[in-house]
Homo-oligomer: A and B are copies of this chain.
Amino acid sequence: MTPIQVPIVERVLNANDQIAAKNLAVLDKSGIYGVNIMASPGAGKTSLIMQTIAHLSPAVSMAVIEGDTARVTIDADLIRGTGIPAVQVHTAGGCHLDAALIADALSQLPLDRLKFLLVENVGNLVCPAAYKLGTHADILIASVPEGDDKPFKYPAIYRGIQALILNKVDLLPYVPFRMDYFRQGVEMLNPGVSFFPLSCKTGEGMEEWIQWLRQKIQPQI
């Protein structure tokens, strides 16, 4: 809040953007398409990753960087169980991933053998929006039980994304959710953003998301 703190924050953000640009160059050099998945806790980041692996692997060689605030390997273990390379990044209580953490994780992956990288950010609708990681796309997973007013309440994260997934559409009969109101908020903040309503549980709508990814990922040589 004091004037002296503003330059410090700006310097940190600029440093992050510089490292993010380097990460993007590293991915591009290997022809890897990178996606940063952001969401509220429990919206279905790991479920979407598991479903995406099931649809694309082994035809597409992929890896996962798994962000967690705590030193738990629940999600990383689940992903490694599929045979996909997974690196866990532990933020030590931190509320977002940053480009430097991704740079470290990239150095531990077999980049020359990959075409696709999924990054699971920390479950948080606020802080991750301010830290670019150097992926090609930033994706947000909203979920039906979170409610239809989230674009209005967390606008920053809705503004910066290239695709929006609305997960848990199988719960639409059981919770109040006005789809028109939700879409209105999204369109106000991010007109024309790619939108995929789906259910990781039932598989409904998954094919459209997978098709969108297939168009972005470079063909395997």
Contacts and interface: CB of A to CB of B under 8 A. Distances in A.
A87 interface: no
Contacts of A8: 5, 8
Given A93-B156, A174-B171, A74 B149 contact: yes
A69 interface: yes
B145 A70 contact: no
A17 interface: no
By DSSP majority rule, is chain A's interface helix, strand, loop, or mixed?
loop
Contact of A125 (B41, B147, B201): B41
A212 interface: no
Contacts of A154: 41, 69-70, 123
Given A124-B127, A145-B168, 11 more contacts: A40-B123, A41-B125, A42-B143, A42-B145, A42-B150, A74-B152, A93-B156, A95-B124, A123-B154, A143-B145, A174-B174
9 contacts: A42-B147, A69-B126, A70-B153, A93-B130, A94-B126, A95-B95, A95-B124, A174-B174, A175-B201
